[in-house]
């Protein structure tokens, strides 16, 4: 494996968000399953312990090309996905299985089964692919797992326990992270908004470089770096408080916020803060040309679009999922986003009626699967429900594996 490979792709010209001409794909292999296979969409069904793989269909739309059953290998409740810099491997953490599974993406073969502990929530490959960094909610720690690619061996070599960190405690658990342009990983804490905060890890010696208390930076959800600038975005979400019967508390309200961090100096600073215009802010993603940052709210099934240059709101999404009833149990609950590498589509997971994680009031939806949005028009063009009629389905993590060559920025770290 070439650890010098990078996810970073450079734009070939100044074009608007969503323009398919931005990024031409080459070397897409011929297939006999009805797909064009210029890229693959990997979507994790937490409820049925499966990874569904789709690809653009030759006749239009998207075709199913494979399904991975993770349960036989201890993969219970697959939560998120992260690819190596060349997209040859994918790491999938399992909150109930207490492990991370690593697969080769081309042939779907399992090569790593690492027991990282209960509540293993997010696992990412280091920028040089030499190790994994894992947020382990159930053990209040960040784990470092070394990788021997030639031998296909994985071994935990270090950890950082949040209870030992200034401003943090056994209640502020690592949730998600990504890397800035200086090699630091920035981790949101939670999972509750009331246990939020942020820690910054210096990977030169795997130590805590900074620690933000929740009172100062109450981020507990997503993390994403700006692809080119020294800026980093985090979200803060809180569902509407409910009583023991799940009924919203009169007069109580949830939270939907985002923060922008300045990562240019040795010390990271809070540069801006804004509202996501909804409740329970969660996932977000850049368009490949860096023209837009899409942000979603889980409970209210809506979101905003930011201008990454100014951090100002430039658009809205009224409904990520097609079910839009006033009753939260009767409307869709979106969660995680990822863009197609050609800049044409944004894929958004939808939780369904049996959420395995998150507050049931916010995470319970109608359609389990993922929505497909046309980035240029900001309109939903398709809702894919692979497990239609199957009780217990709950889609959470999603990732897109490019096949061939693209310009633009496909996924962090950039």
Tens of pLDDT, residues 323-358? 999 988 899 999 999 999 999 999 999 998 888 998
Look at residue 73 and give its three-state secondary structure: helix
Interval 12-31 mean pLDDT: 36
Confidence at 242, pLDDT banded by 50, 70, 90: confident
CB 413 within 8 A of CB 83: no
Q: Quickly list DSSP for 142-161.
A: EEEEEEETTTTEEEEEEEEE
What pLDDT score does 11 carry?
29
What pLDDT score does 7 carry?
52
What pLDDT score does 4 carry?
39
Neighbours of 366 (CB within 10 A): 20
DSSP state of 30: P
Average pLDDT, the chain: 91
Q: Degrees (nearest 5) of the Cα angle 346, 306, 258?
A: 100
- Burial label for 98, CB within 10 Å (0-12, 13-18, 19+), is buried
Look at residue 76 and give its three-state secondary structure: coil
Is the pTM value of this prediction over 0.95?
Answer: no
Tens digits of per-residue pLDDT, 350-402? Answer: 998 888 998 887 888 899 999 999 999 999 999 999 866 678 999 999 999 99
Q: Quickly list DSSP for 174-211.
A: EEEEEE-TTS-EEEEEESSGGG-EEEEEETTTTEEEEE
Tens digits of per-residue pLDDT, 150-181? Answer: 999 999 999 999 999 999 999 999 999 999 99
Residue 20 reports pLDDT greater than 80? no
CA distance 167 to 161: 12
Confidence at 34, pLDDT banded by 50, 70, 90: low
What pLDDT score does 404 carry?
84
Residue 240 reports pLDDT greater than 70? yes
CB 45 within 8 A of CB 368: yes
User: Beta strands 173-179 and 185-190: pairing type?
Assistant: antiparallel
Of the chain, the percentage scoring pLDDT greater than 70 comes to 91
Token pair 């109580």: residue: 252
CA distance 356 to 94: 11
| Cα-based distances in Å from 115 to 2, 101, 135, 377 | 26, 9, 13, 43
| Cα-based distances in Å from 59 to 37, 54, 380, 381 | 12, 14, 19, 15
């Amino acid at each position: 494996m070439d650890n010098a490979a990078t996810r970073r792709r450079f734009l070939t010209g100044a074009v608007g968000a969503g323009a398919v001409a931005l990024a031409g794909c080459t070397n897409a292999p011929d297939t006999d399953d009805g797909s064009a296979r210029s890229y693959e969409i990997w979507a994790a069904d937490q409820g049925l312990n499966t990874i569904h793989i789709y690809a653009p269909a030759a006749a239009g739309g998207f075709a199913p090309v494979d399904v991975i059953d993770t349960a036989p290998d201890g993969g219970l409740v697959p939560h998120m996905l992260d690819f190596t810099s060349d997209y040859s491997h994918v790491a999938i953490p399992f909150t109930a299985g207490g492990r991370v599974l690593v697969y080769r993406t081309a042939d779907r073969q399992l090569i790593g089964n690492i027991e990282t502990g209960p509540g293993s929530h997010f696992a990412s490959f280091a920028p040089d692919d030499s190790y994994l960094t894992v947020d382990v909610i159930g053990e209040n720690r960040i784990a470092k797992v070394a990788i021997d690619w030639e031998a296909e061996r994985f071994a935990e070599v270090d950890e950082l326990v949040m209870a030992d960190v200034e401003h943090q405690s056994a209640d502020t658990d690592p949730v998600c992270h990504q890397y800035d342009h200086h090699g630091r990983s920035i981790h949101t804490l939670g999972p509750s908004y009331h246990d939020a905060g942020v820690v910054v890890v210096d990977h030169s010696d795997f130590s805590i470089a900074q620690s933000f208390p929740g009172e100062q930076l109450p981020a507990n959800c997503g993390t994403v770096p700006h692809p080119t600038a020294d800026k980093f975005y985090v979200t803060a979400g809180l569902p509407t408080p409910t009583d023991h019967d799940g009924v919203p508390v009169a007069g109580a309200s949830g939270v939907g916020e985002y923060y922008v961090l300045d990562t240019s100096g040795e010390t990271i600073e809070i540069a801006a803060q804004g509202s996501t215009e909804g409740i329970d802010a969660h996932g977000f993603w850049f368009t490949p040309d860096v023209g837009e940052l899409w942000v979603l709210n889980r409970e209210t099934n809506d979101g905003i679009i930011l201008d990454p240059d100014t951090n100002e709101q430039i658009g809205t999404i009224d409904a990520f999922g097609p079910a839009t009833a006033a009753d939260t149990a009767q409307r869709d609950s979106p969660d995680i986003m990822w863009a197609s590498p050609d800049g044409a589509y944004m894929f958004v997971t939808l939780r369904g009626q049996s959420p395995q994680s998150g507050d049931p009031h916010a995470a319970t939806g109608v359609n389990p699967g993922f929505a497909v949005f046309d980035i240029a028009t900001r309109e939903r063009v398709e809702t894919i429900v692979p497990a239609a009629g199957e009780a217990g389905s709950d889609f959470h993590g999603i990732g897109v594996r490019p096949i061939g060559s693209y310009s633009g920025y496909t996924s962090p770290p950039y």
